[in-house]
């Protein structure tokens, strides 16, 4: 009764100080207190309701994108990001925080990129070098030859039939068969992004351009990583052009006139670089050596400020752990935020992490990662042992008022970086998110702070904070 009065007073107080506060009704009678003790359930509800009215995760993204900006692995921005993260962990009251070195075998300087149609008439084209492309060594001029997709390019025999030409893969992630899932269409697009430069070089091409892999029709290029060059195959420049420019070139080509393009990239592959994962810990009160790990990647592409990819992950995960750290007691087990280096260029950070922590993977009780932007959470997907599943379902009831559904699958491995640990045996939780905007902005200059939708970020953060608080307090083995 006393608790109930305090709850009502808290509600009234909250509404007085912020009349826009969200207050969620509770299906409390549903909770099986034999599985989730009442005090823990009450704490979880308080945590959940506090966090959906708190802008901390958004403030962290604002801070990262304003004070650090772009932070591709191995750049000055990366160094700024490491200092920033250490200070932020300190400021947010984490008990411990440290870096763990990650080596990068080769660096890359983006340099400048420009392109221009020079015939049928001069017109600037929006272009970005793909990650780790070589430069053009001055102006490169060639006639454009279009291929609808990688298969069409591969169908040309190896040889020199594309000598003097620029191969152009016009595959559109947005226009292709919509019955194919978005992720499948993304993967089809990344074939050309990943290895088109090798395939085109084997056919004699001087360079390759691809239609950006994205769902928008904005005049930006989406950069991204290639899978590298092969020693015995000519290294040709690789770049993405914006969707409207791709459409323009396709429409020019239907006129049966040669379309000549000039490309100038000053990109350069350079020597090794050092970077680091940054780890912050809210130390567990009973089992400090058992870790619940919340992951995101600290690196970003370098033309925007990486707000959605993956500032949203950094903000939501740092804030979720910080909120748990603000509770009366430390959680039973440690909550660790893992900010991985070098996700964008090939999981450098998480691979180094796995190597270093392989011996204690069994201490990694449960993990999750946010790397799909800051959109509203819609479905909880567990990836735990069969015995644990009914406990996760009981926990789920406490976040259901956020408007979240529960998947009937139990196969989550942790998204992005965290999937590497998931595949190494770590149980995982994931929330699918509304990511309709994600492939419009990701890897473009347009991935900036204004794309964060505050209400969505609050719900995202709240969902992870609440579930991981509960997972820390219910002392089971989620592998079983």
- Which residues in this chain contact a copy of itself in the complex, by CB under 8 A? 62, 65-70, 76-77, 80, 120-124, 126, 217-220, 243-244, 247-248, 251-252, 255, 303-305, 444-446, 448-451
The torsion angles phi and psi of 434, rounded to 5 degrees, stand at -70, 115
**Whole-angstrom Cα distance, residue 208 to residue 268?**
16
Nearest residue (CB) to a copy of itself, 218 versus 407: 218
**Whole-angstrom Cα distance, residue 313 to residue 310?**
5
**Whole-angstrom Cα distance, residue 2 to residue 222?**
57
| Shortest Cβ 281–a copy of itself spacing (Å) | 28
| Shortest Cβ 429–a copy of itself spacing (Å) | 32
| Shortest Cβ 217–a copy of itself spacing (Å) | 4
Nearest residue (CB) to a copy of itself, 66 versus 184: 66
Q: Which residues contact 151 (CB under 8 A, 6 or more apart)?
A: none
Nearest residue (CB) to a copy of itself, 171 versus 220: 220
Nearest residue (CB) to a copy of itself, 52 versus 308: 308
Nearest residue (CB) to a copy of itself, 303 versus 371: 303
| Shortest Cβ 219–a copy of itself spacing (Å) | 4
Nearest residue (CB) to a copy of itself, 117 versus 296: 117
Tokens of 193: 């992004």
| Shortest Cβ 310–a copy of itself spacing (Å) | 17
Nearest residue (CB) to a copy of itself, 353 versus 449: 449
| Helix, coil or strand: residue 93 | coil
| Shortest Cβ 88–a copy of itself spacing (Å) | 15
Tokens of 1: 């009764």
Q: Which residues contact 337 (CB under 8 A, 6 or more apart)?
A: 89, 94, 279, 280, 281, 293, 294, 295, 296, 317, 318, 321
* DSSP character string of 21-58: -------GGG--TTTS-HHHHHHHHHHHHHHTT--HHH
| Shortest Cβ 262–a copy of itself spacing (Å) | 15
Cβ atoms of 473 and 40 closer than 8 Å = yes
């Amino acid at each position: 009764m006393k608790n109930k009065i305090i709850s009502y007073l808290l509600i009234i107080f909250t509404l007085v100080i912020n009349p826009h506060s969200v207050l969620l009704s509770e299906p409390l009678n549903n909770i099986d207190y034999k599985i989730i003790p009442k005090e823990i359930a009450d704490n979880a509800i308080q945590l959940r309701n506090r966090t959906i009215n708190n802008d901390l995760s958004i403030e962290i993204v604002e801070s990262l994108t304003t004070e650090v900006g772009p932070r591709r692995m191995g750049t000055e921005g990366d160094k700024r990001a490491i200092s920033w993260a250490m200070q932020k962990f300190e400021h947010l009251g984490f008990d411990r925080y440290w870096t763990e070195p990650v080596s990068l075998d080769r660096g890359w300087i983006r340099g400048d990129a420009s392109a221009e149609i020079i015939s049928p008439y001069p017109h600037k084209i929006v272009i970005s070098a793909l990650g780790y492309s070589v430069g053009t060594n001055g102006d490169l001029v060639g006639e454009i030859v279009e291929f609808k997709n990688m298969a069409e390019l591969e169908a040309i025999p190896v040889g020199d039939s594309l000598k003097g030409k620029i191969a152009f893969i016009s595959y559109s992630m947005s226009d292709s068969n919509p019955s194919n899932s978005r992720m499948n269409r993304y993967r089809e697009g990344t074939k050309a992004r990943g290895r088109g430069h090798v395939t085109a070089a084997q056919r004699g091409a001087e360079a390759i351009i691809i239609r950006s892999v994205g769902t928008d029709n904005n005049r930006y290029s989406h950069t991204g990583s290639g899978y590298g060059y092969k020693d015995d195959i000519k290294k040709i420049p690789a770049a993405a052009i914006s969707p409207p420019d791709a459409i323009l070139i396709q429409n020019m080509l239907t006129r049966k006139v040669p379309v000549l393009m000039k490309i100038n990239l000053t990109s350069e592959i350079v020597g090794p670089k050092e970077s680091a994962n940054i780890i912050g810990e809210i130390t567990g009160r009973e089992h400090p050596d058992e870790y619940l790990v919340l992951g995101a990647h600290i690196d970003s592409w370098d033309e925007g400020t990486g707000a959605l990819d993956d500032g949203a992950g950094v903000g939501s995960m740092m804030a979720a752990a910080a909120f748990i750290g603000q509770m009366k007691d430390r959680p039973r087990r440690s909550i660790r935020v893992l900010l991985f280096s070098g996700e964008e260029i090939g999981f450098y950070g998480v691979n180094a992490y796995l190597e270093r922590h392989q011996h204690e993977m069994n201490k990694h009780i449960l993990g999750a990662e946010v790397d799909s932007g800051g959109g509203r959470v819609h479905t909880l997907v567990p990836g735990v042992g069969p015995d644990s599943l009914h406990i996760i379902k009981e926990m789920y009831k406490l976040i259901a008022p956020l408007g979240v559904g529960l998947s009937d699958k139990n196969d989550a491995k942790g998204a992005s970086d965290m999937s590497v640990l998931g595949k190494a045996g770590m149980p995982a939780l994931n929330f699918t998110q509304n990511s309709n905007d994600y492939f419009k902005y990701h890897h473009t200059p347009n991935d900036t702070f204004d794309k964060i939708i505050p209400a969505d970020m609050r719900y995202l953060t709240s969902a992870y904070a609440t579930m991981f608080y509960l997972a820390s307090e219910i002392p089971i083995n989620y592998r079983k």
